[in-house]
Structure 1
């Protein structure tokens, strides 16, 4: 049960990150926003460890709509740390290094798709990631998962900051402060489910 919860939450986070990378940001800026918020590691660095081919498969299996970015990364052999290159480069098998070619790839794919990239504040980046997690968590609740277990798994499996509690605990207290541009992406039922959980 916990592995299924972890996979569903990770897919929600991965899907949100995929959209943000396509529309607005870079892996290193997204990861920095996450670690500043208190995550143990950024989503892109974590994806490089997991393998981008596996991440892409996880997003598809969860029914998330993927952008053209991950398929291109995988097709070009940018599979992550084990391949020596993913969102970051790993020269000589060492630590991660920013790869400006990734930013070029993101801008190119957005241009091909007619998407105008825009700058988003760290607060909006985090709110959009939390929205992806919220949708996954609410689907798990509807399927009968326990809210406390979802919170624990979000901390252990995703590195959600313990200082904020688990993802559901945090969202229940923070939902009123999330920007309306983000909350507007939730349906009325999802908002109600988020705000009125046990």
Structure 2
């Protein structure tokens, strides 16, 4: 069933360290969880718009160029493998940003339109795991909401954990990255088993 690989991809792509998660964690550490909710709300709103745009972009491509599915699956698979290698090989980073301007709804919303991780997340997830099975407006909206909710859960988790999660990651970052990378490799190869 396609939902397991879709959710695996969505969880790995959303919960691994990325700009939204790092900023959420840093904002919660610096300003508190409640004040960080405005940024997380902006991220969720922007992410939903990106998911909907990705859905209809992919649908148009599939309707007008039916043979593009295989090519898009290859591109999506290669991108996921690239992400997996990048995650597995990543080194610990400094996460000490204390910028006030990063903690607003507006910044969270606008940031999604220049965040390549979110854009590629939407295009890859929708083209690989949704469009081959569903193309109605209701399904595209539903899966856009599901993908956004997974991302929202990731942001909330990183914000809730704040400095606790940061200290755990500093001790266990390497095994965590290897596990996330291996799960992403599973998602990449499952592209060809669900098509």
Q: What is the TM-score when the length of structure 2 is the normalising length?
A: 0.31
Structure ranking higher in helix proportion: 2
Higher relative contact order (CA 8 A, sep 6+): 2
